[in-house]
Structure 1
Amino acid sequence: MADPRTGPREFIQNLAARAVLGAALALPYRWRVPFAGWAVSRLVAPLAGYGRRVRANLAHACPDLPDPEVARLVRAVPANFGRALIEIYSGPAFAARVADEPVKGPGAKALEQAHAQGRPVLLVTGHFGNYDAPRAALIARGYRVGGLYNPMRNGYFNAHYVRAISRIGTPVFPRGRQGLADMIRFLRGGGMLGIVIDQYMRQGAPMTFFGKTAPTALSAAEMALKYDALVVPIYGIRRPDGLNFDIVAEAPIAHTDPETMTQALNDSLEAQVRAHMDQWLWIHRRWKPERQAAQRTRAAARI
């Protein structure tokens, strides 16, 4: 994993991000969340090129999507990203918002039993809705829930981002060697560990997502098999009011082999994304190898 960058460009980017976050945090919670969504969608996204990324990913994964829906998602996806980011930075206010939300779905009972038995649990989600809503809701119920995070490439931003996610609950573990030993110790001690599975992994296994090859880490399934951990897909699905969430725990993934289990997790996330297209981070470069190959093929055909 590359070291965080702390050059002049990163410094300026962090200043801009802090300005938006600071302006939003000055508002009451019920206003700051929609304001942050508007600011990211209307101000940040055009400058950062988010619209181009959303369109490219949709063209790759959902080529038959109608043009009006694509146009809607170009606005709605950054808006959800902005809402989720300011919710995470709202710390205790965000945690209080989801504290009384019931955990729904067939996995809820399994989580209760695992908590009572002290069995390790891997809570697997994606950059969908707000991925920290389930963690906050379970912590409020007295569950021991840690989080695995991928350090930001911008070192200035990463420092306050880690402080923000830590205010929702601890422990949090950086992906990579730095946090591995502590994370394994926590998991083997009967903790629940939240993991996002939808990040591009250069050395990942060639799983599919939306029918396209999407390199995916097998680590969640491998840890589950090694430490007899329950694997539960779980989601914080944003409600139409834009402020509240349904916390949905799906049935645990059966222990088989890492590839089969990981594909089942990808399929679970895909089903949720198809049901709520504007809540997944289509800004991600999720399918880089296949997209690049397709671009090379199109370029060769034009010669």
Structure 2
Amino acid sequence: MAEDEIIGTRADWLADKALRGLIASVMALPYRSRVPMMGSALRHAIGPLAGYRRRAEENLALVYPDMGVLDRRRIAGMVCDNFGRTLIENYSHKDFAAHLTETPAKGEGLDAIAENKGRPVIFVTGHYGNHEAPRQVLTRLGYVIGGLYRKMANPYFNAHYAPTMTSWGGPVFEQGGAGTIGFARHIKGGGMGTLLFDVHQDKGTPLDFLGLPARTALSAAEIALKFDALLIPYFGIRHPDGVGFDVIVESPIPHSSATMMMQQATDRLADRISEDPAQWFWVHRRWKTRKREVINAAAPPPE
């Protein structure tokens, strides 16, 4: 879509212009330099200015009320760093794929896929580490994995970010009526697809997430039940060096009710976050129903 056909606010346009300039500059660097550079930019400049760091600190205070101010700020900084690294890795999808050439996929889910050859598979994951790392590695191993993605709030940004998901791998559909139908048809035909389920869904079902109710879409489990697909959580866990990954394909979630299945998927993600909170995108408005007085009471003092 041409830029003059996109409908957005001037603030959206200005924010996108700034981000495009930064991405273009960083993309000119060698891969192993651009990834930490983008992480640093989000951690020290864009994250604080855009309010990402503050939102991360607020969410951390909500979930971990006993956590000290300095620990919240430290983790929020690391969250922004991971956000930046993930962003530029996904823009660099060809270089990212090459970088992951020697990365193996591990986990019980691989055996389940092999034992159920031809059966459709829905992978579920969250914004943890880099959520595209597992799809990259499994694609290299010969699997064709589609997806269903949520359109970005900034339409100008979405216009150039969406191709980072749709220009490789299996068919990827935009969330919505037609997109969800297309994704369901892909799964019905014995295909594989991935869904991120850890963002707020206005009409979602409240599920326990890190001890708090969070409205969650049940669509992944509903589609899995409808087409007898395996529902398998997977994760791309970032190494301490900031560029390497472990790709873990977990055991399938047993079929039951859609609500119970998605609660189990949520619990799997929560377990990963508990192991390393800095790898999850705390910048999302995951708990929109949270009480403002809780946040205000836990807010850190100004710098």
Same fold (TM over 0.5): yes
CA distance in 2, matches of 1:238, 1:296: 32
Task: Tell me what 2:23 maps to.
Answer: 21
User: Which residue, 114, 125, 128 being the options, matches 1:112?
Assistant: 114
Partner in structure 1 of residue 256 of structure 2 = 256
**Native 8 Å contact 1:136 1:168 kept in 2:** no
Unaligned runs of 5+ in 2: 1-5, 299-303
* 1:39-71 superposed Cα distances (whole Å, 9 cap, x missing partner): 011110111111210111011111122333212
Distance 1:290 1:206 in 2: 12
Aligned partners of 2:156 and 2:197: how far apart in 1? 25
TM-score (norm 2): 0.92
Q: What is the Cα deviation at residue 296 of structure 1?
A: 10
Q: Which residue of 1 aligns with 2:67?
A: 65
Distance apart, 1:147 and its partner CA: 1.5
Q: Tell me the CA shift for residue 129 of structure 1.
A: 0.3
Aligned-partner Cα distance in 1 for 2:178–2:224:
20
Looking at structure 2, the residues matched to 254 and 10 of structure 1 have their Cα atoms a distance apart, in angstroms, of: 42
User: 1:145-156 residue pairs with structure 2 within 5 A?
Assistant: 145-156=145-156
Aligned partner of residue 287 in structure 1, secondary structure? coil
Instruction: Write out aligned runs for 1:1-303 (5 A).
Output: 5-114=7-116, 117-292=117-292
CA contact (8 A) 1:204 1:217 kept: yes
SS of 2:36 mapped into structure 1:
helix
- Residue 295 and residue 97 in structure 1: after superposition, are their counterparts in 2 closer, same or farther (change >3 A)? closer
Q: In the alignment, residue 279 of structure 2 is paired with which amino acid?
A: Q
Q: How far does the alpha carbon of each residue in 1:190-248 deviate from its partner, in whole angstroms, 9 at most, with x for none?
A: 11111111000111111010110001011111111111000111000001111111000
Distance change (3 Å), C-alpha of 1:242 and 1:73: same
C-alpha separation between the residues in 1 aligned to 2:290 and 2:69? 23
Answer with 177-186 or 206-215: which moved more: 177-186
CA distance in 2, matches of 1:113, 1:26: 44
- Note the C-alpha offset of 1:155: 1.4
1:301 aligned partner: none
Q: CA RMSD in A?
A: 1.8
- Residue number in structure 1 paired with 2:3: none
Determine helix, strand or coil for the equivalent of 1:183. helix
Structure 1 gap segments, 5+ residues each: 299-303
Give the percent of matched residue pairs that are identical in Structure 1 and Structure 2. Answer: 43
How many residue pairs end up in the alignment? 293
Match of 1:172, as an amino acid?
A: V
Query: Residues of 2 paired with 1:152 and 1:258: CA distance?
Result: 26
Counterpart of 1:200 in 2: which secondary structure?
coil
The TM-score normalised by the length of structure 1 is 0.92
**What is the rounded CA distance, in whole Å, between the counterparts of 2:238 and 2:295 in structure 1?**
34
C-alpha contact 1:91 1:167 (8 A) present in aligned 2: no
Q: Does the aligned pair in 1 maintain the 2:42–2:80 contact within 8 Å?
A: yes
Amino acid at match of 2:71: E
Rate the CA distance shift 1:155–1:20 in 2: closer, same or farther, 3 A: same
Query: 1:97-138: per-residue Cα shift (whole Å, max 9, x none)?
Result: 223321112212112334xx2111110000000000011111
**Is 1:95–1:168's contact at 8 Å kept on the other side of the alignment?**
no
Deviations 1:2-50 (A, max 9, x none): xx85232211111011011111101000000000000011110111111
Change (3 A) 1:280 1:295: closer
Contact 1:107 1:250 in 2 (8 A): yes
Contact 2:82 2:279 in 1 (8 A): yes
Q: Give the direction of change, closer, same or farther, for the CA distance of 1:31–1:215 in structure 2 (3 Å limit).
A: same
- Matching residue's letter, 1:205: T
Kept in 1, the 8 Å contact 2:148–2:180? The answer is no
